[in-house]
Structure 1
Amino acid sequence: MLLYTTVGTNDLERAGRFYDAVLPLIGYRRQKQAPGEIGYAADEDVRCRFWVVEPFNRELATFGNGVTIAFDAPTRASVDAFHAAALAAGGTDEGAPGLRPFHASFYAAFIRDHDGNKLVAVCERAE
């Protein structure tokens, strides 16, 4: 349904280091970089679906209250690894890995990046 999504950053280099450490653990990697933006995609995807950008209007990047970007993770172990890597890379915990009440197999971990963007890795497979 979604073509792509973006999160803003005030320090693209720092954000790139963070996402380079975290996203490969759930199957996404840096595919493109241009001035002011970095694009990530799953290995099998030819299009970047997640972008980290400096705001086009040159204002400070801010996070959206109530906004969460959810990534599909292949396994519960990859959700655990995503959460641990995010914390090690300077992210903050917004919900440790575990089952959530949304349905019986909804296993997720929530974090915030350096700019306050809220991210979640979710595995919906029973393991």
Structure 2
Amino acid sequence: MSDIDRITPGGRIRVEGLRKAIRSLEQAGADAQDMRDLMHALGLIVVNAAAPPRRSGNLAGTLRAGRGKTKAVVRAGGARAPYAGVIHYGWPARRIAPQPFLSDALQRKRTDVFRALDQGVSQILKSNNL
């Protein structure tokens, strides 16, 4: 985990070397479920900080964190709120301004996410005697 690549204002953060580190952990005996749980916890930090616009509350009810092994993913929308992307990214042709509630939450909680990642990986290493 050497380089960190942040792209603002989109909110994308890339940690170089994480995939290789996870592969090494697995070869050393660490459980992949531990990494899935860690990535889910990282996503929940952003989900809990997100403040989508509230008209009916449907959009807020669709926020969820994925359980990827190599990445934390936060999703919004679905059948109950198919307009989530339009709300978040906007639609200039329809004069709908973007309201990037997920990107804003990530920017506000970036320090907490990195701290949780560091602590989580350390805990996985410690629990596997690595």
| Superposed pair shares fold, TM > 0.5 | no
Q: TM-score, normalised by structure 1?
A: 0.28
More helix by share: 2
Q: TM-score, normalised by structure 2?
A: 0.27
Larger Rg: 2
More strand by share: 1
